[in-house]
């Protein structure tokens, strides 16, 4: 049985990933701070706010122990993310800065580390997919927190993949930017003021001109990539639109 652990499963890509993975016969463990309404015998939902970072290791260990008896592979998809706070450094709330880094960087780091540790003796395919962003590779005014979190996630993934590549049965890691997708995050972005996010009109135009990708299509392409041999051949930092 192929086991997937996915964060941020209440909407957008995360919810689509769960539905499509279940349809394909996989077992899925979802982590989110809200319910998503999925009732399926191969879906297990764990309620947790990712800002509660002290609870993440125990949760990962619990999930893997529950799933190990019938597992033929494990894949962790760190999908959850937050665009907030949007605004200029010096003007944004310090508590929101901390929450942003917790969700976008600290939580994926802890979950990845726990995943690697708990599966260290398992001789099976083990994969970690970080949902990154072009904002981690190109700076934007007003997105300093988001850019920093995603840039840190990219560097973390590169470093850990180097570590794991030296092991006989290491984990393969990829940090992938999925493109601009029509999700609730995009709605939040479009509601920004020009003073907080000078590029807001460009993102409004993406929506108006139909340039946003569909979450269902992105999830389908992402799953196909994860399950293909290409997953082991691409650069650690990858853009889904180039595959």
Q: What share of the chain is helix, strand, coil (3-state, %, to 5)?
A: 45, 15, 35
Q: Two tokens at 122? A: 């398992």
Catalytic residue check, 206: no
Which residues neighbour 57 within 8 Å (Cβ) at sequence distance 6 or greater? Answer: 110, 113, 114
Q: Which of 4, 29, 43, 146 is catalytic?
A: 146
The alpha carbon dihedral of 148, 149, 150, 153 has a sign of positive
Structure tokens belonging to residue 85: 């706070």
Q: Determine whether 173 is exposed, middle or buried from the number of CB atoms within 10 Å of its CB (0-12, 13-18, 19+).
A: buried
Pairing of strands 126-131, 2-7: unpaired
Active-site annotation, residues: 146
């Amino acid at each position: 049985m192929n086991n997937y652990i996915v964060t941020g499963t209440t909407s957008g890509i995360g919810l689509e990933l769960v539905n499509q993975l279940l349809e394909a016969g996989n077992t899925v463990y979802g982590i989110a701070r809200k319910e998503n309404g999925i009732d399926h015998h191969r879906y297990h939902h764990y309620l947790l706010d990712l800002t509660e970072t002290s609870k993440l290791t125990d949760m990962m260990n619990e999930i893997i122990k529950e799933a190990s008896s019938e597992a033929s592979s494990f894949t962790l998809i760190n999908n959850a993310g937050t665009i907030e706070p949007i605004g200029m450094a010096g003007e944004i709330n310090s508590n929101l800065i901390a929450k942003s880094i917790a969700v976008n960087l600290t939580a994926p780091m802890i979950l990845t580390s726990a995943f690697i540790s708990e599966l260290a003796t398992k001789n099976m395919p083990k994969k970690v997919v970080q949902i990154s962003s072009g904002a981690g590779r190109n700076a934007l005014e007003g997105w300093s927190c988001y850019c920093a979190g995603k840039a840190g996630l990219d560097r973390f993934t590169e470093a850990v993949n180097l570590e794991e590549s030296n092991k006989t049965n290491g984990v393969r890691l990829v940090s992938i930017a999925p493109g601009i997708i029509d999700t609730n995050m995009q709605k939040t972005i479009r509601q920004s003021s020009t003073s907080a996010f000078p590029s807001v009109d460009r993102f409004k135009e993406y929506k108006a001109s139909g340039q946003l990708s569909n979450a269902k299509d992105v999830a389908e392409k992402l799953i196909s990539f994860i399950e293909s041999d290409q997953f082991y051949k691409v650069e650690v930092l990858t853009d889904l639109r180039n595959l």
